Structure 1
Amino acid sequence: MIKLAIMCLVVAAIAAILGFGGVAGAFVDIAVWIAIIAVVLFVVFLLLGIFAGKKASDALD
């Protein structure tokens, strides 16, 4: 998902260099939203992994 955000930023940079300001702005907004979603999913799965790991280690003890 982070690769997709980076690709959107690259496309936005190329569009900005070529003078397509509106397209570049749209791709930057898309990249920001994708990055935010990726960070939120990372935190959610990190917490799920921590809690699942604690329950598994408690079951093994």
Structure 2
Amino acid sequence: MESNRNTTQLITFLQEELDLSATSIAIALRHSEQDPGPLPMILWQYGLVSLEELERIFDWLET
């Protein structure tokens, strides 16, 4: 249950702070089901966020 809430908060951050589209997030979520891994890394591996944005995501996750 906690994991779902954390994922929801992360998705909200991605949409509101990084202006990531719902389509990009959906692509990453679909790939994470097939190849489990941290969502931020999947977003970066597929070119959906830059390295700078990835750092912002990790900074946000730490707080």
Please tell me the TM-score bracket, short chain as reference: 0.3 to 0.5
Larger radius of gyration: 1
Would you tell me which structure has more helix in proportion to its own residues?
1
Q: Which has the higher contact order (CA 8 A, sep 6+)?
A: 1
Q: TM-score, normalised by structure 2?
A: 0.34
